[in-house]
Chains A and B, each alone.
Chain A
Amino acid sequence: MKSLLDIRANTQVKIVSISGGKNARRTLGQMGIGIGSIIRLKRNAPFAGPLLIEIHGSSVAIGRGVAVKILVEEI
């Protein structure tokens, strides 16, 4: 299983699970990002910076610490 960190930019993925803290899961969920969501990875920022994903047409920046906990599969 790959985490969101291992995915290259401009790839569509489906979220399989979100491990770790309840708070992160909740915050993601509030933005419509949950298990089963289909998201597009827009970019990986430099210097270990955050990732940028697209969901339902809006952009969300996700820190690498959170991204590593999001397991996905490519579709």
Chain B
Amino acid sequence: MKIALIGQPNAGKSTLFNSVAGYKSATSNLPGTTVRYTESRVRLNGHVCQLVDFPGTYSLSSSNEAEAEVTRYLLKGEFDLIINIIDASQLGRSLLLTLELMELGVPLVIGLNMIDEAGRKGITINHERLGEILGIPVQTTVASKNLGVRDLFILAKKVIDGRLGSEIKKMSYQKDVEKIIAELEGILTQKFSVSLTYPSRFLAMKMLEDDGFYKDVVISLNGDLLSPKITELQNRLVKLRGKPQDSVLLLERSALAMDTYSQVVTLGAPQHDWRERLDSVVMHKVAGYFILLAVLLGFFYAVFEVGALLEGYLIEGFDSVTGLLSGYFNTTSFIFHLTQSAIWGISGGVAIVLPYLVPFLIGLTLLEDAGYLPRVAFLMDAFMHRIGLHGTSIVPAVLGYGCNVPAVMATRILPSRRDKIIAAVISSMVPCSARSVVIFGLVAFYLGPLWAFGIYVFNIVVVATSGKVLSLLMPEVSPGMIMEIPPYRWPSFQVIRKKTWFRIKEFIVVAWPILIVGSVVLGLLEYFRLDAWINAGLSPLTSFIGLPAVVGTTLIFGVLRKELALIMLTQAIGTTSVLTVMSATQILTFTVFITFYIPCVATMAVLAKELGRKWMTMVIFLTLFLATFFSYMVHLGGAHIF
């Protein structure tokens, strides 16, 4: 059994998916969070079935890559059922997608989600009537509170087993338009009745909408023999309605959707609550920017205060363990060296990384789930325009503060390849949580939080400048921003807990072992005096930017995981009191270098996948150049400041 979860962005698909599959799919109150498919095996009433969470899509047209991919997989994936998740407070708009899904010939069930929010907006939906009109079983749910989710899947199972006997109704457009669709459908089935993998009526409609992706599908089957006929039919549509052909079908669909909407919805007075008043301040033309600054500073200080407090205690604890160890073993022995470096790796993860990582991730999750990030995009749109991109491009960049990998993936929501390239390049330059750990653990801890904040601000300037330069190199009029600003939602404690744990678990199972192995490898290198060779090889670079030669090795290992550079730094210089060995300038130089140089291997891999190797190589050289340049500047300037 294979079930697809589909819906418009921010309808709550991933929340629903996670509530049945455990936390596996990233959720947030930000349209476009899911850009890849997450699959999970779940047991429904004792039956194992495969559940696939799709990226949110407004329609089955293909105006961007993510959307084209949805339809392709939906039709080739051999799904037994589609669960269409609808944001009940957006029913009118959501039905546009439902009407398209109904053309695919796959059984459907509707999950009418966020029914509580619809109630607050004064929208009452007769869901039984909705089911009758469409011929699709409907279940109301509140996925965030896990209400109705079980019933939804029981309903899904019934439909798959054919125990409900419901049949999807054929939703007809107006007669004159139907006639044209039917004519093209007839030609399509006649020409390639065997090789057609898409439902003929659906394909005919997409042809008439002049959808590039489906035109290519037909051209690949038959060359452009059909093209004149299609153009002729499109022109007839234009003549019928006096509007562009793509608008005609959309308007027909809207009319059907609105007709259905008006039959099932009773509108009451919406509760104009605190959310609207909050928005008038948060998105205010002046106050909005002050609030943005305050939120960022508040976030920053909170992470630092909590992190520094914990780091202090934990490091003390681990230092005493290392102290004890030297009592048992001969400090020059191989065993001592090995154990000590292993402990260093373990303690680095617990005492240096986690104290900052945990509050950082909790804070980021809070901002994401409350819905503040789209407001940031709104406020930043004017500035993003200056650097030649539109506000939507900030979504990947902001996701980058968590981790660059999903950030680069999220660039798929951008409509043009050029925007995608620029956004992906700048997203990979945003300090992710791993780099933030280095910034907090070194600069904030030793030089004070304001210095660390300065690095972030400086990074934003560099990222913006790089974006500007790239957009000048690739001139193209960027399509304007069209982005939904979702309502504020109270972040649920359960979701925050699960989501933070999901990300921390990733650190524990993926990064931590790398840290430990990395520390042991460094310990071995030191024992056999091999690190001297590496350090000597890198000494032109390290001496150029004024760093002690011993940090050379850490820069190499930092490519694997950025936190590794921090842990190995303390190991390479042989103490956790960094300030005794390195000067303030050197700490700053090191951090700036780590923040800007080559993205980690995981980011490189995803860059190569999304943009191609050429761009990945360019990013490597660009970031290496920037890192060296800025560290050199810090090295020069630091002498005057400290």
Q: Does A35 lie at the interface of the complex (its beta carbon under 8 Å from any beta carbon of B)?
A: yes
Choice from A21, A26, A50 contacting B481 with Cβ under 8 Å? A50
Question: Inside 8 A of A62's CB, which chain B residues have their CB?
Answer: 480-482
Tell me, yes or no, whether B39 is within 8 Å of chain A by CB.
Answer: no
Residue A43 interfacial (CB < 8 Å): yes
Are B63 and A56 closer than 8 Å at their CB atoms?
no
Q: CB-CB < 8 A to B567: which residues of A? A: none
Does B346 have its Cβ within 8 Å of any Cβ on chain A? Answer: no
Question: Hey, which chain A residues are within 8 Å of B58, CB to CB?
Answer: 27, 30-31
Task: List A27-43 residues whose CB lies under 8 Å from chain B.
Answer: 27-32, 34-36, 43
Residues of A within 8 A of B415 (CB): 23, 27
Contact yes or no, B89 A57, CB < 8 A: yes
Closest to A18 in B: B247
CB of B24 closer than 8 Å to a CB of A: no
Determine whether the beta carbon of A61 is less than 8 Å from that of B481: yes
| B551-582 vs A, Cβ < 8 Å mask (1 yes, 0 no) | 00000000000000000000000000000000
| Contact partners of A64 in chain B: CB under 8 A | 480
Least Cβ–Cβ distance between B118 and chain A, in angstroms: 9
Check if B247 sits within 8 Å of A56, measured CB to CB: no
Cβ of A50 and Cβ of B96 under 8 Å apart? no
Q: Is the interface of B mostly helix, strand, loop or mixed?
A: mixed
Contact, CB under 8 Å: B482 / A63: yes
Looking at B101-109, B378-386, B467-475, B530-538, the stretch in contact with chain A turns out to be B378-386
B382–A49 CB distance below 8 A: yes
Q: How many residues of A contact B (CB 8 A)?
A: 37
**B476-492 vs A: 1/0 string, CB under 8 Å?**
01111111111100000
A59/B484 contact (C-beta < 8 A), A23-B415, A26-B61, A26-B246 known: yes
**A50/B391 contact (C-beta < 8 A), A30-B96, A35-B243 known:** yes
With A26-B246, A26-B250, A45-B283 as contacts: A60 and B482 at CB distance below 8 Å = yes
* Closest CB in chain B relative to A35 CB, distance in Å: 7
Q: CB within 8 A of B482: which of A34, A48, A61?
A: A61
Q: Roughly how many angstroms separate A45 CA and B480 CA in the complex, as a whole number?
A: 14
Question: Known contacts A47-B382, A52-B283, A59-B485: does B377 contact A22 (CB below 8 Å)?
Answer: no
Query: Measured between alpha carbons, how far is A55 from B477 in the docked complex, in Å?
Result: 27
Contact with A49, one of B96, B379, B479 (Cβ below 8 angstroms): B379
Partner of B480 from A18, A52, A57, A65 at Cβ < 8 Å: A65
**Residues on B with beta carbons closer than 8 Å to the beta carbon of A55:** 93
- Please give, as numbers and ranges, the residues of chain A lying within 8 Å of B381 by CB-CB distance: 45, 49-50, 61, 63
For A59, the closest partner residue in chain B by CB is B485
Tell me the number of A-to-B contacts counted with CB atoms below 8 Å. Answer: 137
Specify the chain B residue showing the minimal Cβ separation from A49: B382
Instruction: For residue B300, give the distance in angstroms from its CB to the closest CB of chain A.
Output: 25
A44, B257: Cα distance in complex, Å:
30
Q: Which of A18, A23, A43, A45 contacts B382 (CB 8 A)?
A: A45
Whether the pair A32, B96 counts as a contact (CB closer than 8 A) is yes
Q: Does A25 contact B (CB under 8 A)?
A: yes
How far is the CB of A9 from the nearest CB of chain B, in Å?
Answer: 11
Given A28-B482, A63-B482, does the pair A43, B283 have CB atoms closer than 8 Å? yes
Q: Contact check, A31 vs B481: say whether CB atoms are below 8 A apart.
A: no
Q: Are A27 and B63 in contact (CB under 8 A)?
A: yes
Is B466 in contact with chain A by the CB < 8 A criterion?
no
CB closest chain-B residue, reference A65: B480
Q: Roughly how many angstroms separate A55 CA and B261 CA in the complex, as a whole number?
A: 14
Bound state CA distance, A12 and B65, in angstroms? Answer: 34
Contact partner, A61, options B257, B270, B377, B385, Cβ 8 Å: B377
Which residues B380-397 have CB closer than 8 A to chain A?
381-383, 385, 390-391
* Contact assessment for B61 and A30 in the assembled complex, using a CB-CB cutoff below 8 Å: yes
The interface residues of chain B lying within 8 Å CB-to-CB of A48 are 382, 385
Smallest Cβ distance from B635 to chain A, in angstroms? 36
Known: A45-B378, A48-B382, A57-B123. A24 touches B482 (CB 8 A): yes
* Assembled-state Cα–Cα distance A70/B551 (Å): 58
Which of B92, B246, B385 lies in contact with A56, CB distance below 8 A?
B92
Which A residues lie within 8 Å of B123 (CB)? 57
A31 to chain B, nearest CB (A): 6
Report if B59 contacts A (CB, 8 A): yes
Are B485's CB and A61's CB within 8 A? yes
A13, CB-defined interface residue at 8 Å: no
B485 to chain A minimum Cβ distance, whole angstroms, is 4
CB distance from B56 to the nearest CB of A (A): 11
B244 interfacial contact with A, CB 8 Å? yes
The CA-CA distance from A26 to B253 in the complex, in Å, is 12
Q: Does B121 contact A (CB under 8 A)?
A: yes
Which of B286, B382, B482 interacts with A66 by CB under 8 Å? B482
Give Cα A31 to B59, complex, Å.
Answer: 9
CA distance A57 to B270 in the complex (A): 9
How far does the Cβ of B25 sit from chain A's closest Cβ, in whole Å? Answer: 23
Tell me if B90 is interfacial: C-beta within 8 Å of chain A.
yes
Are B484's CB and A58's CB within 8 A? yes
- Offer 19 A-B interface pairs, CB within 8 angstroms, sorted by A: A22-B246, A23-B63, A24-B480, A25-B246, A25-B250, A26-B61, A26-B63, A27-B63, A29-B59, A34-B251, A43-B283, A45-B285, A47-B285, A48-B385, A49-B382, A50-B381, A59-B484, A61-B481, A63-B391
- Beyond A57-B121, A59-B485, 6 additional pairs, beta carbon < 8 A: A30-B58, A30-B59, A30-B93, A45-B283, A59-B486, A60-B484
Report which A residues bind B (CB closer than 8 A).
Answer: 18, 21-32, 34-36, 43, 45-50, 52, 55-67
Enumerate chain B interface residues (CB-CB to A < 8 A). 58-59, 61, 63, 89-90, 92-93, 96, 121, 123, 210, 243-244, 246-247, 250-251, 254, 257, 270, 279, 283, 285-286, 374, 377-379, 381-383, 385, 390-391, 415, 477-487
